[in-house]
Amino acid sequence: MELRNSTLGSGFILVGILNDSGSPELLCATFTILYMLALTSNGLLLLAITIEAQLHMPMYLLLGQLSLMDLLFTSVVTPKALADFLCRENTISFGGCALQMFLALTMGGAEDLLLAFMAYDRYVAICHPLTYMTLVSSRVCWLMVATSWILASLIAIGHTMYTMHLPFCMSWEIRHLLCEIPPLLKLACADTSRYELIIYVTGVTFLLLPISAIVASYTLVLFTVLRMPSNEGRKKALVTCSSHLIVVGMFYGAAIFMYVLPSSFHSPKQDNIISVFYTIVTPALNPLIYSLRNKEVMGALRRVLGKYILLAHSTL
């Protein structure tokens, strides 16, 4: 089989879900709406957390970072997919593919770690409220954020460099929404069994360990909440934690399917649907799940929007 050199001048063809769908126009409109929703909701949440002093707390700092990651994650994938469909141009350069893979892995890995840190934050806040400001101080919170970004970036650059140095076959058609490791390995003309084992180990370490920590944290939180004498306090804690668990279930379920399950469980159609879920759907839903069920966030959003509406009226 003829090989092509992996040079920056070479290109891939992305054949994503929009090209294989029976109703591509409807799907394109849906993706556009979800992307605009993700931009608006995450942007407003970031604005409220930045401006409102009431939200300058570790929990909301972590939530702001989650919104930033979601905003960047969906922006790495969705505009390219929509532009390709509308312009009937599905090519992506070798360098562009490498950059997209690096950014997607970085955002996904950082969110993976951040969700575990958010679970720890809720565990300390509910189970050890008297020592909360010591155990989750501003310094500790920023350390969590930095750890998420740095570790994810290091893992992403390692996997991107190795994957993009593989010899690829003559047909460079990626049947996927974006440049990701699993679909690219299907194009490699070298034995990738050892590398697939490395990906599996990385997936278990980066996904199953954090989700185990999350389950342990929320199990302890549940035991503590059930012993609370105050019905209002119990309800508030359950609402906060349930919203976190919804986000965790959506994100980790899709990520485990892509990076932990063996390749025999994968098909291009399934992988496309899963990738849409964690790159387009989840970033749009996350801020709604958090803000609609949190009185402090909703109050801050109303105050921020009120200020800007008044400012707009005063300038007219």
Q: Domain span at residue 233?
A: 22-294
Q: How far apart are CA 272 and CA 88, in angstroms?
A: 19
**pLDDT in the model for residue 313:** 64
**pLDDT in the model for residue 157:** 96
**pLDDT in the model for residue 170:** 58
**pLDDT in the model for residue 146:** 96
Q: What is the CATH number of the domain that holds 286?
A: 1.20.1070.10
What are 94's two structure tokens? Answer: 């070798």
pLDDT in tens, 132-168: 988 998 899 999 999 999 999 999 999 999 999 988 8
Angle of helix 58-87 versus helix 295-315 axis, rounded to 10: 60
Give, as one character, the DSSP assignment of residue 13: E
What are 57's two structure tokens? Answer: 């707390």
Number of domains in the chain: 1
| Domain assignment present for 8 | no
| Domain assignment present for 299 | no
**Within 10 Å of residue 136's Cβ, how many Cβ atoms?**
24
| Domain assignment present for 167 | yes
**pLDDT in the model for residue 315:** 67
| Domain assignment present for 76 | yes
**pLDDT in the model for residue 247:** 78
**pLDDT in the model for residue 311:** 66
**Within 10 Å of residue 257's Cβ, how many Cβ atoms?**
18
| Domain assignment present for 164 | yes
Residues of the chain with pLDDT under 50: 1-2, 5-9
| Domain assignment present for 241 | yes
**pLDDT in the model for residue 78:** 93
3-state secondary structure labels for all residues of 103-159 = HHHHHHHHHHHHHHHHHHHHHHHHHCHHHHHHHCCHHHHHHHHHHHHHHHHHHHHHH
**Within 10 Å of residue 53's Cβ, how many Cβ atoms?**
7
The predicted model scores a pTM of 0.88
pLDDT in tens, 261-272: 877 777 878 888
| Domain assignment present for 306 | no
| Domain assignment present for 313 | no
